[in-house]
Amino acid sequence: ETGVTQTPRHLVMGMTNKKSLKCEQHLGHNAMYWYKQSAKKPLELMFVYNFKEQTENNSVPSRFSPECPNSSHLFLHLHTLQPEDSALYLCASSRGQENQPQHFGDGTRLSIL
Amino acid sequence: GQNIDQPTEMTATEGAIVQINCTYQTSGFNGLFWYQQHAGEAPTFLSYNVLDGLEEKGRFSSFLSRSKGYSYLLLKELQMKDSASYLCAVKDSNYQLIWGAGTKLIIKP
């Protein structure tokens, strides 16, 4: 139990579907992150929110749309994804963004048909 | 560009010692992290180094040399449950985490 919960754990969707990934943290942290993890590649930072405000968007395609309604919840809305978007999507949170470690959820394994 | 290098895979024997190296080239340095990730699970924080030297935490130790852009994670008295991927990450001058691709550690009986 890491204190960061992601749902669903697995998701299979077609390229024309719309779905959302959910992340919730129970650690009282103020920063939340979305990462993409592909096999044998470094973690790719997608979005960063600090006190509900987006502070980073690492050139992520618009078919990925984040939402952060409060400091405990983070969503990733998915629309018209491509096969190369199949990956493990990890959510993380931290107390601040400087030297505090990030705490990760177990991720959502996404497969695009 | 920014780069973190670590071996793709290592094999070690139960009860032995293994050292996983990480070299980095980043724009600035604000600390280095090691994480452990078991297959299908979340990465979990192991250690943080910001000053040169060795940090020891039970069976695990992490070393940093900022002048050489080098760190290692030392695992002693290896157990089967230590089979996992080990991720090295560096915070750059903007406090953004730059990640290595991870080292898959296989422990054999």
Distance CA B43, CA B46 (A): 9
pLDDT for residue B61 is more than 70: yes
pLDDT for A54: 81
Which chain B residue lies closest to A107 (C-alpha atoms)? B42
From chain B residues 18-77, the ones with a CB under 8 A of any chain A CB are 30-31, 33, 35, 40-45, 48, 50
Question: Average pLDDT, stretch A78-99?
Answer: 92
DSSP 3-state assignment of B81? helix
More confident residue, A99 or B39: B39
Interface contact flag, A106 B101, Cβ < 8 Å: no
Mutant choice from B4, B9, B30, B45 vs A, greatest count of A C-beta within 10 A: B45
pLDDT digits 0-9 by tens, B40-50: 899 999 999 99
Number of CB pairs, chain A paired with chain B, less than 8 A apart: 48
Cβ A34 vs Cβ A15: under 8 Å: no
Cβ B17 vs Cβ B72: under 8 Å: no
Cβ B8 vs Cβ B101: under 8 Å: yes
pLDDT digits 0-9 by tens, B10-26: 999 999 999 999 999 99
pLDDT for A1: 66
A43 exposure class (CB count in 10 Å sphere: 0-12, 13-18, 19+): buried
Distance CA A69, CA A104 (A): 19
Which chain A residue lies closest to B4 (C-alpha atoms)? A42
**CA angle at B16 for the pair B12 and B22, rounded to the nearest 5°:** 60
Cβ B34 vs Cβ B73: under 8 Å: yes
Report chain A residues touching chain B, CB-CB < 8 A: 2, 4, 40-43, 45, 56, 90, 97-99, 101-107
pLDDT for residue A59 is more than 80: yes
DSSP 3-state assignment of A85? helix
> Hey, what amino acid is at A89?
Y
What proportions of chain A, in percent to the nearest 5, are helix, strand and coil? 5, 55, 40
